[in-house]
Structure 1
């Protein structure tokens, strides 16, 4: 089921609603908004939140479960699950 993800645990936290517990959010930034235009995706661990709330977040580069470099593994818009203006 989660073969598209680096590991099942990442897939479970990615698929959960933004309002449910700890989750992983993938955001696509505009290349002009990034110091490194090659890595336009950003990866965040967040607690549950609703649109309009201040979002507490932890920017990550490596999967907290298996250690995969997220910038190397996730290179497609199919993984984006959050809008950049929320962050």
Structure 2
């Protein structure tokens, strides 16, 4: 990521895709277990409608996305460049 004309900020966190998938699988298992102890409906007093079940479905969608992306060759997932910022996510 490059911010401004002369300032560079690099954030690289290389992690093998299979390790990330295992982490997501473990997270999904924990969310399924937590779902046994919480209500299916969001709390009416709460400002947010985000529940454990919503998080579980979000993690499942990310797992499905990773499964579909790992079937193919490496590619650029996101590559956005503006005047001051460049964001790039590469799947290898």
TM over 0.5: no
Please say which structure displays the higher CA radius of gyration. Answer: 2
Bigger proportion of residues as helix? 2
Q: Tell me the TM-score range normalised by the shorter chain.
A: under 0.3
